Amino acid sequence: MATASYPPDLKYHEEHDWARIEGETATFGITWYAQDQLGELVFFDPPAVGATVRRGDPYAEVESVKAVSDVIAPLSGEVVEVNEALASGPEAINDDPYDGGWMVKVRLSDVSEVESLMDAAAYEDSLT
């Protein structure tokens, strides 16, 4: 994805992760800014389905050719689905970070945590 974008319907965490809230579950991924910083991604190391994730803690890793980065969970819960397509196509995270590049779906353990996330405007401001 060539130009920065931060969809308004998502919530954002300061460690450059987004969450799409769908009632009791949420989908997570990394933001345009994050994938731009990391460069071309070559590998996504996901958590297992059933794993617990905690807000602010790493739950997965992404790799570019010369670097490894932790992916931080914006909210807490249990992993119910992992994006299998990333195994053969990690570049989807660069090309389509909010849709094809989604990483995990999580059943939230504490929906009130959503209030601590930023909206798109606040997150974009924080980047300058």
Partner 1 sequence: MSRYTSATEDDRRAMLVAIGAASIDELFADVPEAVRLGRPLDLPAGKPEQEVFGYLRDLASLNVSAEDEISFLGAGMYDHYVPSLVDSIIGRSEFLTPYTPYQPEISQGGLQVMFEYQTAISELTGLPVSNASVYEGPSALAAAGYLAKLHQPSRTRFLVSRGVHPHSRETLASTSVGWGTTIEELGLAGGATDAEALAEAVSDDVSAVFLQYPNFLGAVEDLEALVPAAKAAGALVVVACDPLALGILRPPGDVGVDVAVGEGQTLGNRLDFGGPSFGFFAAQQAYMRRMPGRIAGETTDVDGRRGFVLTLQTREQHIRREKATHNICTAQALNALAGVIYLSWLGREGLVELGELLLQRTAYARETLAAVEGIEPLHDQPVVREFAVRLDADVERVIERCAVDGVNPGYPLGRDYPEHQDGLLVALTEQRSKADIDRLAASLRSAVREVVPA
Partner 2 sequence: MSATESELHADPGVERDQPEADRSVRLTETAQQRDRARTIYEKSQPGRRAFVAPELDVPRRDDLLPERFRRTEPARLPEIAEPEIVRHYNRLSKRNFDLDTGFYPLGSCTMKHNPKLHERVAALPGNARLHPLQHPRRAQGALRLMWELQHALGEVAGLPHVSLQPSAGSHGELAGVLLTRAYHEDRGEHRTKVLTPDTAHGTNPATVTMAGFEVVKVGTNDRGGVDVDDLKAKAGDDVACLMLTNPNTLGLFDPAIEEIAHVVHDAGATLYYDGANLNAVMGRTRPGDMGFDIVHFNLHKTFTQPHGGGGPGAGPIAVSELIEPYIPRPQVVRGEPHNGGPSAFELDFDRPKSIGRLRGFQGNYGVFVRSYAYILSLGADGLQEASETAVLNANYLMARLAETAGEHLPVAYERTCMHEFVLTGGPMKKALGIRTLDLAKRLLDFGFHPPTVYFPLLVDEALLIEPTETETRETLDAFAEVVGEILAEAADDPEAARSAPYTTPVRRLDEAGAAKRPVIRQAL
Partner from partner 2, partner 1, none contacting 68, C-beta within 5 to 8 A by type: partner 1
Counting residues that bind partner 1 (by CB under 8 A) gives: 6
HSE, CB side, 13 Å, CA atoms: give it for residue 103. Answer: 28
Q: Contact at 8 Å (CB) between 73 and 53? A: yes
Q: Which two tokens stand for residue 124?
A: 């974009």
Q: Using the rule CB under 8 A, is 65 a contact of partner 1?
A: yes
Q: Using the rule CB under 8 A, is 49 a contact of partner 1?
A: no
Pairing of strands 58-64, 52-53: unpaired
Q: Using the rule CB under 8 A, is 43 a contact of partner 1?
A: yes
Task: Please report how close the Cβ of residue 118 comes to partner 1 at its closest, in angstroms.
Answer: 30
Partner from partner 1, partner 2, none contacting 4, C-beta within 5 to 8 A by type: none
What distance in Å separates the CA atoms of residue 66 and residue 25, rounded to the nearest whole number? 34
Residue that is written with structure tokens 């909210």 in the block: 75
Partner from partner 2, partner 1, none contacting 87, C-beta within 5 to 8 A by type: partner 2
| 107: amino acid identity, one letter | R
Q: Using the rule CB under 8 A, is 68 a contact of partner 1?
A: yes
Q: Using the rule CB under 8 A, is 124 a contact of partner 1?
A: no
